Amino acid sequence: MKLSRPVSWFLLAFGVWSWVIWITFVKNLVKDSSGLAFDDGHPTAYFFVHLTLAVVSFVLGTIVGGIGLRGLRALSRTSRTS
């Protein structure tokens, strides 16, 4: 399957955006002082659920961004040979 240039850029941007958002979220989760993420210094279920969401989002963002990057590389290869 061949991806168009706009679709490839969108997928790559989505992957980068996912990393930026979730890194910020994890930093805030670790610094949480409201008592949701940590109870007497011990991680809570809230912490583990949201950490799991972040890890899954990192993986999916990497996969989606990688597809976008591969699409852009394929387009640049075809434009050089044409």
Considering its fold, how many domains does the chain have in total?
Answer: 1
Q: Can you tell me the mean pLDDT for 34-42?
A: 91
5-30 vs 45-81: helix axis angle to the nearest 10? 160
Domain assignment of residue 16, given as a range: 5-79
Longest CA span, the chain: 64
Token pair in block for residue 76: 């640049």
Round to whole Å and give the CA distance between 72 and 4.
8
pTM confidence score: 0.85
pLDDT(27) > 80: yes
Per-residue pLDDT band for 82 (boundaries 50, 70, 90) equals low
User: pLDDT (tens digit, 9 = 90+) per residue, 46-65?
Assistant: 999 999 999 999 999 999 99
